[in-house]
Structure 1
Amino acid sequence: MSKDNATLLALLLPPVAYATQQPLIEAELSAEGNAFDAVNLLSESIVKAVTPIYAANLLSDWERVLGIGSNADMTYQQRLEKVLLKIAETGGLSIPYFKKLASRLGYSIEIVEPTAFHVGINRCGDRLMIEGTMWTWGVVISGLKVKPYYFRTGSSAVGEHLSVFADAVIESVFNDLKPAHTFCYFVYQDS
């Protein structure tokens, strides 16, 4: 119980009409003081949530406002990093922009784009180009230890891949920022 809030409420009562030491009035003032204490605590957490660094349980509101889908598999630190990255992003569609973005996240990447058949470069028998290939690009991530997930009977579901190698942070950030008409695939290499 906060003596300050209960005392302030007692001072608001007319001094002659109410005796604040009576048990019923004292209990009412104590309950109302506790309610104001709860409001004070909640308001402090809301004030701290002005910046996502101190948002704590209000981080989901930042994700909602920024249009970031929250992933249940991501840790709080990963979610916070994703929010901070979204706030800091300046936008761009170039390869240097995505490479700089990855380096800010702590990744070492190269971006590869499939090329069409070129006379003088390619040879007879090489594939010309599959339709839609010009809208794909790959992100080669090197030096990252990614935990592999293998299909296991009893703990995996029908239709899942036999093995999955993925890093949720970089893949979700790149898939959120890539042009909508493109397909981005990820390749993980040991350095």
Structure 2
Amino acid sequence: MNGNDWQELLYLMLPDGYARNGQRLNAELQAEGNTLASVERSAQDMLNGVTPFTAVALLSDWKRVLGLSVSNGMTIQARRQQIMAKLVETGGLSRNYFIRLAKSLGYDVTIDEPEPFRCGRNRCGDRLWIPEIVWVWIVNIQDGQVPVYRFRCGSSATGERLMSFGQNMLESIFRDLKPAHTQVVFNYVENKT
């Protein structure tokens, strides 16, 4: 309801015979109606903020609680995707866990775990890695994918661009989740067809 609807409802609550056309009374009821409409909008924002699917005003609170970095210029859709990615994290150390996590964010990745060169196991032409390479893993991101966010009613806000390109959240999420003793390297692979 808007302020005028609330004002009309407040008029109906006045006792019978009360002068309804007074200038001060109209101003008071209009102010009260606008206040009630504002409270109703705030309550709806709080209700929508219960989940990140519908949150708008409370997205910054979701990001703060989840410990996500705040980036200026991110669209509402991108912020929701970042929050949902953080919420879906279940934890894991396997290749499959990180591949599934990337898939849930819309990326096709493969993960390589290089091994050092060993006599008797490797042969001429194999890459020479140092022994410490066992602590490095390489994430190959197919087609150098970057999320594209198109303006959508209900999912975008006034003033946002009709189309924007999101940040590659995959790198920051993987760096947050990787085992502390390892180093992750990102390799953007372009498919040549």
Answering whether residue 124 of structure 2 is matched by residue 129 of structure 1, we say: no
| Structure 1 gaps, min length 5 | 147-165
Alpha-carbon contact 1:78-1:169 (below 8 Å) kept: no
The equivalent residue for 1:156 is none
Q: 173-182 or 86-95, which moves further after superposition?
A: 173-182
The equivalent residue for 2:7 is 6
Supply the distance in 1 between the matched residues of 2:5 and 2:60 (Cα, whole angstroms): 33
Aligned-pair CA distance for 1:77: 2.2
Answering whether residue 26 of structure 2 is matched by residue 26 of structure 1, we say: yes
Aligned-pair CA distance for 1:174: 1.4
Answering whether residue 183 of structure 2 is matched by residue 172 of structure 1, we say: no
Alpha-carbon contact 2:143-2:189 (below 8 Å) kept: yes
Give the match's secondary structure for 1:184. strand
For 1:107, the aligned partner's letter is Y
| Structure 2 gaps, min length 5 | 147-165
Supply the distance in 1 between the matched residues of 2:21 and 2:71 (Cα, whole angstroms): 53
Q: Note closer, same or farther for the CA distance 1:32–1:180 as it changes in structure 2 (3 Å cut).
A: farther
What are the equivalent positions in structure 2 for 1:150-165 lying under 5 Å apart?
Answer: none
Alpha-carbon contact 1:82-1:173 (below 8 Å) kept: no
Partner deviation per Cα, 1:95-147 (whole Å, 9 max, x = no partner):
110011112222221112232343312469x45424xx43322101123356x
Aligned-pair CA distance for 1:94: 1.0
Partner deviation per Cα, 1:10-42 (whole Å, 9 max, x = no partner):
5666668x7443211221121111111111122
The equivalent residue for 1:66 is 66
For 1:168, the aligned partner's letter is N
Aligned-pair CA distance for 1:76: 2.9
TM (norm. structure 1) is 0.72
Supply the distance in 1 between the matched residues of 2:130 and 2:135 (Cα, whole angstroms): 15
Q: Note closer, same or farther for the CA distance 1:73–1:20 as it changes in structure 2 (3 Å cut).
A: closer
Supply the distance in 1 between the matched residues of 2:8 and 2:129 (Cα, whole angstroms): 83
Alignment size in residue pairs: 169
Aligned-pair CA distance for 1:188: 0.5
Give the match's secondary structure for 2:57. helix
